[in-house]
Amino acid sequence: MLVPMVVGIMALIGVVLVLRTRPDAFTAADRKPRGTWAGLLAGCSIFLIFPWIGWLMLGIPVIASLVITGIYWLDVRPQIKDLLANAQG
């Protein structure tokens, strides 16, 4: 029960980072738009901070939320961070 809650906090931090990132960075990185990622991570944070909601649906939302949050932190965020670092010179 502790792991989903920790990852849920990471999803909330991801929402803040997504909303602070320029919207054109997502299209330049060939990713889904900023609003899509913000919505996905916000939904994930609900299912992960309150995992009993997801477990009522056979645990599928919790597992999907773990995967989506992992994709953001391990794939999308590093690519956008590198793209913005190279754009600034």
Residue-wise pLDDT for 28-85, tens only, equals 999 999 999 999 999 999 999 998 888 888 889 999 999 999 999 999 999 999 999 9
The phi and psi torsions of 56 (rounded to 5 degrees) equal -65, -25
Residue 87 has pLDDT above 80, yes or no: no
Cβ count near 11 (within 10 Å) = 27
pTM of this prediction?
Answer: 0.91
* The pLDDT value given to residue 89: 63
Measured CA to CA, the distance from residue 44 to residue 50 in angstroms comes to 10
Mean pLDDT on 5-32: 95
Nearest residue to 72 via CA among 28, 8, 24: 8
Measured CA to CA, the distance from residue 26 to residue 76 in angstroms comes to 9
